[in-house]
Amino acid sequence: MMIIVAGVAVALACFILYALDRRSKGEPLSWDTAGKLSIFGGLLSSGIVFATTADVPTVVETIKEVVPEVTQDMFVGKPTF
């Protein structure tokens, strides 16, 4: 749920900042650019929240299970040149 809230909040902030920037320069608002900034800002912040709130013990246990199997698979069999 935090991923969605952070994404929407950052997307809204990006839109507001873009609109304020355009208004301060006296230029018209480009809806395409505003949409792109909002979407990419929201996606980027959602990705950061997802990456930083991962369950660390689960990740460590998964790595401990996978690494021995992979290293054993590397040294099994005859080399073919």
Each residue's pLDDT expressed in tens, for the chain with a length of 81 residues: 788 888 999 999 999 999 999 999 999 999 999 999 999 999 999 888 888 886 656 767 777 777 776 666 666 666 665
Predicted pLDDT of residue 65: 76
Write the CB contacts of 56 (distance below 8 Å, at least 6 apart in sequence): none
Asked if residue 79 is part of any domain, the answer here is no
Contact, 7 vs 46, CB < 8 A? yes
Q: What is the domain count for the chain?
A: 1
Predicted pLDDT of residue 67: 73
Asked if residue 80 is part of any domain, the answer here is no
For 13, the domain range is 2-74
**Which residue in 5, 27, 8 sits closest to 18, CA to CA?**
27
Asked if residue 34 is part of any domain, the answer here is yes
pTM: 0.62
Predicted pLDDT of residue 45: 92
Write out the H or E segment, with its range, that includes residue 45: helix 31-52
Asked if residue 9 is part of any domain, the answer here is yes
Predicted pLDDT of residue 22: 95
